[in-house]
DNA sequence: TTGAAAGCGCTAACAC
DNA sequence: GTGTTAGCGCTTTCAA
C-alpha cells in the first residue's frame, strides 16, 4: 500500500524508474551501468525516466552485491602520540610533497570514477578506529603515507588483509606493495656533484636512522664518496626539521671546521644548515656547498636556492594508485614494489 | 552447498557467528549493537563467537537497512579553477586554522563513533564528482569549509538536500546551517584597542569584499571607529595573502603618510603590513600600531608578535559537528546558525 | 528474552 | 535484447 508509487517523495529507487520507463529493473540497471545490449531507443526512455525521477543509485545496495565501493582512502599516519593540532597537520600538508602526491593519485583515480577520501591516523586511538572503518568495507583499498618510522599502520593493514600500497619501503619486510625512490642512487647523485665541484672535506646530515629511506641515503652517499676517494664521511643525525638541520650543521662545523661540502637528507634540514653556515660566516656555495633532498618548496625559498635531489612524486603517486587498483581487481596478485629514479636539480647552493 | 560453513575462509557473516554461538542471527545482531534484553550468558557466548570467527559487520548491508553510514565528510572547497597543486592545499592546510578545526570536530565525532573523511573540491569537476558521491549516501552529512567567496558548494549542498553545516555565513542567504564568529564585534575589539592607544590616524586593510566575513570586519571596524570620533577610515582591499598585505600597506602609507594605527583583516596580511612598515622605516608599534585577525601561527612568527583578534575555532568546529549530527538525526530540523564571540589577544604590535 | 521472516535497493545469472 | 528471479548481509517488526 505504501509501495509502488513511482512519483512519491521518498528517494526514488530502480523500481520507480523502471515503472516510469515502462521496463524492468534489470534494464534500468543495465543502462545506468553502461552495459551494452540495450536498445538505443529504450536507453533514451530510461535516461529520461532517470532524469524525471531524479534517481541516484543507492551506494549501500550496490556495494552489498558488487562488494565494491569505488573509493579508496589516502591515509596519512604517524607513529608518535601527538596531540591533534598544528604540528602534524602543518608538517605533512605544508610540504608540496603532499600536494604532488594527491595530484598524482587523482590523475589516475578520477578518470576511472574512483573517489579518494583522506583520513588521518595521528595516534593509536585514531588508528584503531581507522582500521575498523576500513575493515567494514567502507573503501576498497588504501594508500598509506607514513610520516615516521615506527608507524604500526603498515603492519595493521597487512594483518587486516586490506588491499594497500605504501609510499615507501616498510621498515621491516612485509608482504605489502610499495612505491619508493631509489634513495641510494639519489644520494650518489649528490656525492658525484660534490666530488665534481672538487670538494675535499665532505660530511652529511642524515634523517632519523630508524627510517629505511634515511639509512639508504646515508649509506648510498658514503659508498659513492668512497668511490671518489673519501674514505670517511662524518655524519650527524637529524629528524627532518629545520631546527635539527641547523643544530646538526653547527655540530658538524665544530668537528670538521674546514668542511667544504654537505649532503643533507632533506630540504628542510638543508635550509637550517644554510642558516647555520651563514651564522658561522661561511658563504654558500663558495666556502661550503650544500645539497638537499626532495626538491620541496623550501628549496626555492632558501638563500641561495637549494641544489637538491628531486623525486618524481607525481609519477610515484600515480603508480601507487595503479598498483592499488590492480590489487583491488585481483586480491591475489602478489605484493609488488616499484622504484623510481631521482634526479639532480642544480640551483645555487652546490 | 557452499554456504553454512561457519569456519570457512570467506569473510564471516552474522549467519556464521550465529551458528558458532548456537543462537539466531537476530540475537547476534542485538549483542553487536548493544541492545539490552539479551541474557548475559548468551551475550558472553556471542562475544566469544565473534572473537573466534573474527567477524566484522558489513557496512553496506548495515547501511542498506539503517540508512546510516556513521561517517561524515569535511569538505574543503574553493571556487577558482586552480591546478591541483601546492597553492591551494598549502594555503588551506598550513594554517593552524585547519588543524584547530579538525581537532574540534573530532572531539565530538570520535566519542560517538562517527568517522570523518576529508574531501577536496578544488574545481568544478571535483565538485561534481563530490556531489555525486555524497548523494549516493556514502556519508551521512557534510561540514563544508570554503576558502573563497564565489564557491558554489553551499548552493549545491542545499540543492542536493544533504545534511550540511557551513563554517561561515553563506554569501547569499541559503536555507543551510552555519557557524560563524561575530566578525563585526571582533573588528570593534580592534577599533577599541587602537582608540585606547590614542591612535589618531587609523586605516584598515580588508579582505576580499565579496566575502561576508570581510565586509563585516570592514563595516564593523568603521562603525566602531566612528563612535570613537573617526569619521573617515581609509581602507585598501587585499586577498588574505601576505603579498597583498604588503602591497596594501604601501598604498596606505602613500595615501596617509602620518598613519599611526592599522587594523588588518587577517594575520597573514598583517605580517606583510608589518614588513612594509619596517621597509618604510617605521617602528611597530611605536610609530604605527598593527592589529591582525585570526590568531594564526604567523601571529607569533611576526616581529613584533601580532596583537590580534582570536576566534574560538575549536568551539566553533565542535558546534558544527553537533549541529550536523542534529540534522542527521532529524532531517527536518530547521537550519540554525550559531555565532561565537572573538576575543582580543594582546601581544606586541598594538 | 529469543527466533522467524520480511525486506532494504541493487546486480547478475539465467531464461525467454 | 529484455525480463524474472535469487540473493548480497544486515536490522527489525512480530510472534512465541
In terms of Cβ atoms closer than 10 Å to its own Cβ (0-12, 13-18, 19+), residue A315 is middle
pTM: 0.86
- A238 C-beta neighbours (distance < 10 Å), count: 27
Whole-number distance in Å between A34 CA and C16 C1': 23
Interface of B with A in 154-213 (CB under 8 A): none
Instruction: Give the total residue count for chain A.
Output: 350
Picking from A55-59, A297-301, B156-160, B202-206, which range would have the lowest pLDDT averaged per residue?
A: A297-301
Rounded to an integer, the average pLDDT of A106-126 is: 89
Spans of chain B below 70 pLDDT: 1-9, 79-96, 301
Residue A8 Cβ under 7 A from any strand C atom: no
The pLDDT, as a whole number, for residue A79 is 65
The counts of H helices and E strands in chain B are 14, 12
Q: DSSP code of B183? A: H
The pLDDT score that the predictor gives to residue B84 is 38
Ramachandran region of residue A150, left (φ > 0), alpha (ψ -120 to 50) or beta?
alpha
A89 has a pLDDT exceeding 60: no
Round to a whole number and report the distance in Å from the CA of A332 to the C1' of D12: 37
Peptide bond between residue B75 and the one before it cis (omega within 30 degrees of 0): no
B47 is near strand D: CB distance < 7 Å = no
Q: Quick one: pLDDT at residue A172?
A: 87
Residue A85, pLDDT > 80, answer: no
Mean pLDDT of A310-333: 94
Which of A281, A284, A189, A298 is CA-nearest to residue A240? A298
* Chains A & B: contacts with CB separation below 8 Å: 131
Q: Tell me the C-alpha distance between B256 and A341, whole Å.
A: 56
In the structure, how far is the CA atom of residue B72 from the C1' atom of nucleotide C4, in angstroms? 35
Kindly tell me the burial class for residue B36, based on how many C-beta atoms sit within 10 Å of its own C-beta (0-12, 13-18, 19 or more): exposed
pLDDT digits (tens, 9 = 90+) for B62-73: 999 999 999 999
pLDDT on residue A9 = 58
Q: Among chain A residues 26 through 45, which have CB within 7 angstroms of nucleic chain D?
A: 26-27, 30, 37-39, 41-42
Q: What is the pLDDT of residue B95?
A: 61
Residues in chain B: 350
Give the model's pLDDT for residue B243: 83
Question: Does residue A59 lie within 7 Å of nucleic acid chain C, judged by its CB?
Answer: no
Q: Is the CB of A256 under 7 A from strand C?
A: no
What pLDDT score does A302 carry?
80
CA atom of B24 to C1′ atom of C5, Å: 12
Residues of chain B with C-beta less than 8 angstroms from the C-beta of A136:
56-59
Q: Cis link prior to B304 (omega < 30° from 0)?
A: yes
A23 touches strand D (CB under 7 A): yes
Q: Strand pairing partners for B121? A: B77
User: Residue A184 pLDDT more than 90?
Assistant: yes
Residues from chain A that touch B125, judged by Cβ atoms under 8 A, are 110
Single out the residue of B11, B166, B176, B140 nearest to residue B76, CA to CA.
Answer: B166
Quote the pLDDT of residue B92.
53
A127 touches chain B (CB under 8 A): no
| Residue in B59, B84, B116 closest to A137 by CB | B59
Amino acid at each position: 500500500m505504501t509501495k509502488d508509487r513511482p512519483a512519491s517523495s521518498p528517494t526514488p529507487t530502480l523500481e520507480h524508474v523502471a515503472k516510469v520507463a515502462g521496463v524492468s529493473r534489470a534494464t534500468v540497471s543495465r543502462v545506468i551501468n553502461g552495459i551494452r545490449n540495450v536498445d538505443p531507443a529504450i536507453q533514451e526512455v530510461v535516461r529520461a525516466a532517470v532524469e524525471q525521477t531524479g534517481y541516484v543509485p543507492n551506494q549501500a545496495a550496490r556495494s552489498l552485491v558488487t562488494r565494491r565501493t569505488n573509493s579508496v582512502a589516502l591515509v596519512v599516519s604517524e607513529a608518535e602520540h601527538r596531540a591533534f593540532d598544528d604540528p602534524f597537520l602543518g608538517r605533512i600538508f605544508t610540504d608540496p610533497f603532499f600536494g604532488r602526491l594527491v595530484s598524482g593519485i587523482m590523475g589516475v583515480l578520477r578518470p576511472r570514477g574512483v573517489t579518494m577520501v583522506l583520513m588521518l591516523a595521528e595516534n593509536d586511538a585514531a588508528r584503531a578506529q581507522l582500521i575498523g572503518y576500513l575493515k567494514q568495507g567502507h573503501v576498497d583499498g588504501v594508500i598509506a603515507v607514513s610520516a615516521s618510522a615506527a608507524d604500526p599502520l603498515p603492519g595493521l593493514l597487512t594483518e587486516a588483509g586490506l588491499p594497500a600500497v605504501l609510499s615507501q619501503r616498510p621498515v621491516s619486510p612485509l608482504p605489502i606493495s610499495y612505491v619508493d625512490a631509489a634513495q641510494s642512487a639519489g644520494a650518489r647523485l649528490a656525492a658525484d656533484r660534490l666530488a665534481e665541484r672538487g670538494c675535499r672535506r665532505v660530511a652529511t646530515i642524515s634523517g632519523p636512522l630508524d627510517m629505511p629511506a634515511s639509512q639508504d641515503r646515508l649509506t648510498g652517499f658514503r659508498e659513492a664518496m668512497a668511490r671518489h676517494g673519501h674514505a670517511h664521511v662524518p655524519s650527524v643525525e637529524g629528524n627532518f626539521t629545520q631546527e635539527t638541520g641547523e643544530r646538526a650543521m653547527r655540530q658538524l662545523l665544530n668537528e670538521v671546521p674546514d668542511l667544504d661540502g654537505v649532503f643533507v637528507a632533506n630540504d628542510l634540514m638543508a635550509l637550517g644548515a644554510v642558516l647555520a653556515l651563514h651564522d658561522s660566516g661561511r658563504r654558500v656555495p663558495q666556502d661550503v656547498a650544500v645539497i638537499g633532498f626532495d626538491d620541496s618548496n623550501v628549496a626555492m625559498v632558501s638563500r641561495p636556492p637549494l641544489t637538491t635531489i628531486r623525486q618524481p612524486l607525481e609519477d610515484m603517486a600515480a603508480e601507487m594508485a595503479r598498483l592499488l587498483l590492480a590489487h583491488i581487481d585481483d586480491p591475489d596478485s602478489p605484493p609488488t614494489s616499484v622504484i623510481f629514479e631521482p634526479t639532480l636539480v642544480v640551483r645555487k647552493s652546490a
